[in-house]
Amino acid sequence: MANPVPPRDRTDQPWRSEGAPPPPSPKRRMPGGWGGLILTALVVYLIANIVLSFFNDGDGPTISYTEFDKQVAAGNVTKIYSKGDAIQGQLKNKQPVPDGDGDYTKFTTQRPAFADDDLWAQLTKQNVVVTAEPVVQERSFLANLLISLAPMLLLVLLWVFIARRMSSGMGGAGGMLGRKTPPKPVELEAGAKRTTFADVAGIDEVEGELNDVVDFLKNPQAYREMGAKMPRGVLLAGPPGTGKTLLARAVAGEAGVPFFSASASGFIEMIVGVGASRVRELFAEARKVAPAIVFIDEIDTIGRARGGGSGMGGHDEREQTLNQILTEMDGFTGSEGVIVLAATNRADVLDPALTRPGRFDRIVHVNPPDRDGREAILRIHTREIPLAKDVDLEHVARTTPGMTGAELANLANEAALLAVKRDQKAVTRSDLSDALEKVQLGAERPLVMPAEERRRTAYHESGHALLGMLQPGADPVRKITIVPRGRALGVTLSTPDADRYAYTEDYLRGRIIGALGGMAAEQVVFGVITTGAESDLEQVTNIARGMAGRWGMSERVGRLTAIPSDAQQAYGLSAAPATLDTVDAEMRRIVDECYERALRQLREHRDQLDALAAALLENETLEEAAAYRAAGITRADRED
């Protein structure tokens, strides 16, 4: 099974990468350079010293010698320390600062040289202690330096942290609007196996076209010597689930080159210019590790034709992102070795500048697989699922026409889930059959219907099945059930024996007759019409509209397309009102003719209808063989 896509390295990085070597760690530059750092350090140092000066008691206030003598005489001095004429001291009781604010206990003063007082005698008389150490113990130079530098260091560390956050694109508006440092590509885990063409099946013709890309990436010199240039872009177009993304990864894995995958919607932001910046970053990363592959999924998100009025003068975010992609692709040279792959299921709405030669100049259509392709896909998705001996993958492939690779993978997974719920050691044929019913018909509903409604449902489904059995060239009936599934009260499943690629008018009329069989049976047996035919009528309307308005199967409308195939295009813009009225009348004519035929056939085969309904009421579900046996019809007797 295919390896899971590696996770993103960053949540705001709109792409993943695999197989890319890790780049050297970029040196982070501080915003403003080292000059700004030194200037900031000086400013913080000054501020720190000013702040510390408010918290440092120091030597206390400097008082006059007269005030000091007064305090000594009053006996309010407890101890002093003198060095030369400078005196430090401490009072017993607080005193107001002379000519100042606040109180003080520690102080400094200066003894005048001309003083002739007997200071020592007074100090001795008042029992003042004359210390040998300073009254105020001053901090050492190293302690003062560390205390003054501590706030500055904290601020610098905070500043460095913020600067790094901003430089990595995670620092608020500056990181969001500015250019982000290119991220480290995500590497596959050690020993992990990359996706190759061995993991892809059912689309061999597409593999053949993409083998050219693989060969170019492996042997670019041979192409240069021949003067050949590979397409700069390859567009994978097809319905959802057909394996476009898997193919792109397989190309990169087969060539052994780095693979960058992104969803187009991941580039779009509210702020104009961010998407374009991310595109530049993605392509810059790819060029660094070239040869490489850049894959953009759902490119129609940003690649729609411009000038449709969706933006404001061509300068909205989506169009700027598209313009940047166009510029990047046009700027490639043959020696860069970077190939762009893109996927879309709406190739018809892409901008012409995107699909012109020189950009996405090769379009590869990826269609649902045929029967052999479905069998190969089933074998890939069941490689790690234990299968019982009765499992026939060829039969499963034959009964799943039109299913894509993703749907087949889901089918295999549903069968495995059923086997686990049933405490089995392997997936059996019954598990696959039940899983197919769940995928195609919906999950069973525990609904108890009244007997009369249950009988009406049995005739409704029998009408579908019987007309399908009677129509020449119709798809065989595979299963009939009156067990409620999904939104339906009953289901009739018909699938062809082989894939069909073109439909005749007779076949389409048979489809309409079969779809109307439920309503016709209710009218023949009960004389009523119920709401149970809603989905049938939707199917009938779509087929009849295509026959009359798109496929030229009406003589009155003629051989022209009056109704657009694009459901998103406004209905009626491609034809005149009179033509649309004619289409509407022809649709009604076709449906009415088919309904009359359905009523006639059911009346002619009423016994078979009753027998089939009775078998349904008894068994609730009839497989193909039992259904044909109950109706008294053998497959060999049907007209082809």
Query: Residue 606 burial by CB count (10 A; 0-12/13-18/19+): exposed, middle or buried?
Result: middle
pLDDT at 194: 77
Q: Which CATH architecture has domain 59-130?
A: 2-Layer Sandwich (3.30)
pLDDT at 612 over 80: yes
- Residue 40, classed as helix, strand or coil, is helix
Active site residues: 461
Please give the pLDDT value at position 272. 62
SS3 of 356, please? Answer: coil
| Two domains, one topology: 59-130 and 451-637 | no
> What does the pLDDT read at residue 417?
93
Q: In this structure, what token pair is assigned to residue 610? A: 């009753």
Q: What is the mean pLDDT of residues 311-319?
A: 57
Give CATH for domain 451-637: 1.20.58.760
- Does 559 have pLDDT greater than 90? no
Which pLDDT score is estimated for 515? 92
Q: How confident is the model at residue 565, as a pLDDT?
A: 66
Q: Indicate if the pLDDT at residue 124 is higher than 70.
A: yes
Helix (H, G, I), strand (E, B) or coil at 342: strand
Please give the C-alpha separations between residue 400 and each of 224, 367, 449, 574, in angstroms, as whole numbers: 45, 15, 30, 35
Residue the block writes with tokens 């339906």: 488
pLDDT at residue number 36: 63
Confidence check: pLDDT of 502 > 70: yes
Residues 29-51 have a mean pLDDT of 62
User: What is the number of other CB atoms lying within 10 angstroms of the CB of residue 31?
Assistant: 13
Q: What is the pLDDT of residues 174-233, one digit of tens each?
A: 344 444 444 444 444 444 577 788 778 877 778 777 888 888 888 878 877 888 777 778
Instruction: Identify the pLDDT of residue 178.
Output: 40
Question: Which of 3.30.70.870, 3.40.50.300, 3.40.1590.10, 3.40.50.2300 is the CATH number of 15-24+184-365?
Answer: 3.40.50.300
Predicted confidence band at 623 (pLDDT cuts at 50, 70, 90)?
confident
Range in 197-211, 255-269, 499-513, 555-569 with the lowest mean pLDDT: 555-569
Mean pLDDT of 601-629: 90
Q: What is the pLDDT of residue 108?
A: 83
Between 439 and 564, name the one with better pLDDT: 439
Residue 11 has pLDDT above 90, yes or no: no
pLDDT band at 314 (very low <50, low <70, confident <90, very high): very low
Contact indicator for 277, 320 with CB cutoff of 8 Å: no
| CATH 1.10.8.60 corresponds to the domain 371-441 | yes
pLDDT in tens, 541-554: 999 999 998 898 98
Ranking 161-170, 186-195, 258-267 by mean pLDDT, the lowest is: 186-195
Residue 603 has pLDDT above 90, yes or no: yes
Q: Does the pLDDT at position 311 exceed 70?
A: no
Instruction: Give the pTM.
Output: 0.64
DSSP state of 200: -
Q: What is residue 449's predicted lDDT score, i.e. its pLDDT?
A: 78
Under DSSP, the state recorded for 428 is -
pLDDT at 234 over 90: no
DSSP structural state of residue 208: H
What average pLDDT does the segment 141-148 reach? 67
- Spell out the domain ranges in the chain: 15-24+184-365, 33-54+141-177, 59-130, 371-441, 451-637
